[in-house]
Chains A and B, each alone.
Chain A
Amino acid sequence: MSTQTQLTPTGTGRPAAAAVEVTDLVKRYPKAKVNAVDGISFAVAPGEVFGLLGPNGAGKTTTIGVLTTRVRKTSGYAAVTGIDVAGDPVGARSVIGVVPQRPNLDRSLDAKGNLVWHAAYHGVPRARRGPLADELLERMGLTDKAHTNPDELSGGQAQRLIIARGLMHGPRVLFLDEPSTGLDPQARLFVHDRVAELAANGVTIVLTTHDMDEAAKLSDRVGIVDHGELLKLDTPANLVAGLSGSATVDLDVTGLDPEHLRGRLSAVRGTAGAEVLAIPDDGPARLRIRVDGEAGAALPGLLEEVTTAGGHVSDVGLGEPTLEDVFIDLTGRGLR
């Protein structure tokens, strides 16, 4: 019998291993022309909430798939709590909890059965399974749904049950893939609160989202991903602070070529940058202009420029730069 040597220090007094470590990770699906994940690297500290933000198809779910042992990497390195997921997938599975993008509850079992049997798969002692399930059902506000079939749960309830299931075996790292996609606003908030609560209890969380508000609200640090590459990685505040311009002005404009107008607006004094957010087939094009100083002060100059160019402004919106602006700045297009 050969025993595997664990190289990562787990003893006290030494720096703890990163909860998640990804180095030059590449995944190319068979027959695909491009890499789904193209050389991503990042590390997540124990207890951190880490968000991967990017549009659909950016490679977020594939990255999570590799880390949760369901997708085989093409090259690079991926580890959870120091365990190489490719070399020791069984070991990795016992330290991770997974909340997938699509509900996959076991419909042959009721809500509590899903939790209890999940614990059984993970070797939780029989006597602890029931009380643990009751406790988690209560925390997720599902006590009265214990004997309900997953088919009869609402989207929000099902999502909470899946989170509870992922926690049944006391994982070190919880992966949440698009945790609130498809939920109504109230259910979304409830899920957000539960995630924040877990984070407060010291669970390391890696989540993916294409929703900038969710990423900014929940994450300690955000990695912005597009086309399989990690474009930028920092705290939400630093990412936004790194943008030139301190305010944004959105203009809905008709009667002009949006790209032409973008060029003209970029040249206006006090403008830090301008992007075309949307060009609908019918109706006005929307442009976002980042400005230095206050948005209101910059507005007259921008409106005048549109009028001079022969365009017509139908709506104006003032705001502060968000993660979406960071994404637009990096990729030249919106998240959606």
Chain B
Amino acid sequence: MTAVTTTEPFRRVSPGRAFLGVLGRDVAVTGKELGSFISQVLVQPFFLLFVFGKVLSELGYIAPGYAQLLLPGLLALNAFLVAVQAVALPLVIDFSYTKEIEDRLLAPLSTRMVAVEKIVFGAIRGLIGSLVMIPVGYLVLDEVSWNLAGLPLSALLLVLGALAGGASGLVIGTLVSPRRINIVFAVVITPLLFTGSTQFPFLQIGSLRWFQVICALNPITYVAEGLRGALTPQIPHLPAWLCLAALVFACVLFGAIGIRGFVRRALD
């Protein structure tokens, strides 16, 4: 290019730099409120872990090995749900009221990539939310023994689970009106919480066939089951390939719907 102008030369910003700029803003804002973010993320799983993993098993109502089963489930749960919430709620408010996202929509970046940034950012929050559960698990539970060889696969599963969560958040955030977001959260999040095979192994609920079918539709199931296969293989679990395939499918499906919704909201 030999563009010579009388004023300053036209410099085309690389989309990568613009993307990192937009992502950097979100990360910086999260960094500023890290304390409140972590506590927000930890409270619910901590009590689930404490009551089901510690209190009930100490009282003898729950078999001693249950904590082993529960902890990977809670990692999966946080990776997905924290990502959903990180994307959905701010987007609903941004698009409907504050319009604060407009300045980023005017960055030299395709509108689709701004949507992808939202997914990636949600996934980063989901991953943080998931990883902070590990030390908590070790502190609260008496016996946690993981198959360390399964860590790389676990990391991959968590990344995919968090991305699927971010993509689902994008779907909710662009399709739901602000007046309905509370009801959607109540009606969607709670069922996701209990149908993600986080508190039970998927394969062992075959006697409740209908419930098993519902659980099979929840992406969290595949994160939880995959993590069990990697970290606690002695517990019956779905095969790794199936979990990975299901999560990739969820990322692509929700990603495509979410990005379409985002572009529709961003451009008139």
Contacts and interface: CB of A to CB of B under 8 A. Distances in A.
Contacts of B18: 121-123
Contacts of A311: none
A122 B11 CA distance: 10
Given A94-B13, A120-B24, A122-B21, A10 B3 contact: yes
B193 interface: no
Interface in B95-119: 98-100, 102-111
Given A120-B25, A122-B13, A170-B8, A105 B100 contact: yes
Contacts of B36: none
A276 to B, nearest CB: 36
Contacts of B108: 90-91, 93-94, 121-123
Nearest to B100: A106
Interface string A79-105: 001000000011101111010101011
A70 interface: yes
Given A65-B268, A108-B29, A118 B103 contact: yes
Given A117-B21, A122-B13, A122-B108, A12 B102 contact: no
Contacts of B11: 94, 123
Contact of B98 (A6, A11, A107): A107
A105 B12 CA distance: 25
A94 B21 CA distance: 14
B210 interface: no
B21 A90 contact: no
B268 A121 contact: no
Nearest to B20: A120
A204 to B, nearest CB: 10
Contacts of A89: 110-111
A16 B6 contact: yes
A104 B6 contact: no
A69 interface: yes
Interface string A100-142: 1010111111000010011011110000000000000000000
B5 A102 contact: no
Interface in A194-213: 202
| Interface size classification for chain B | 35 or more
A109 B29 contact: yes
B10 interface: yes
A94 B100 contact: no
B150 to A, nearest CB: 38
B22 interface: yes
Nearest to B94: A104
B106 A102 contact: no
Contact of B5 (A10, A65, A70, A105): A10
Contacts of A221: none
Nearest to A47: B7
Contacts, number: 104
Contacts of A91: 12, 108
A104 B3 contact: no
Give the dominant DSSP class at A's interface: loop
Contact of A172 (B2, B7, B102, B105): B7
B14 interface: yes
A72 interface: yes
A123 B98 contact: no
B14 A72 contact: no
A29 interface: yes
A63 interface: no
A107 B100 contact: yes
A104 B100 contact: yes
Contacts of A94: 10-13, 108
A104 B22 contact: no
Contacts of A290: none
A68 B22 CA distance: 19
Contacts of A12: 4-6
A10 B21 contact: no
Contacts of A95: 10
A83 B242 CA distance: 48
A152 to B, nearest CB: 15
Contact of B103 (A16, A71, A102, A121): A121
Interface in B103-137: 103-111
Chain A CB within 10 Å — which of B4, B11, B15, B22 has the most?
A: B11
Nearest to A93: B108
B4 A70 contact: no
A286 interface: no
A309 to B, nearest CB: 50
Given A93-B106, A109-B25, A121-B22, 6 more contacts: A69-B106, A70-B102, A70-B105, A70-B268, A109-B29, A123-B13
16 contacts: A10-B5, A11-B2, A11-B4, A12-B4, A16-B5, A70-B105, A70-B266, A81-B10, A90-B108, A94-B10, A104-B100, A121-B108, A122-B21, A123-B21, A165-B103, A202-B7
The 7 A-B pairs of least Cβ separation, nearest first, read: A123-B13, A120-B21, A121-B107, A94-B108, A104-B99, A123-B17, A121-B21
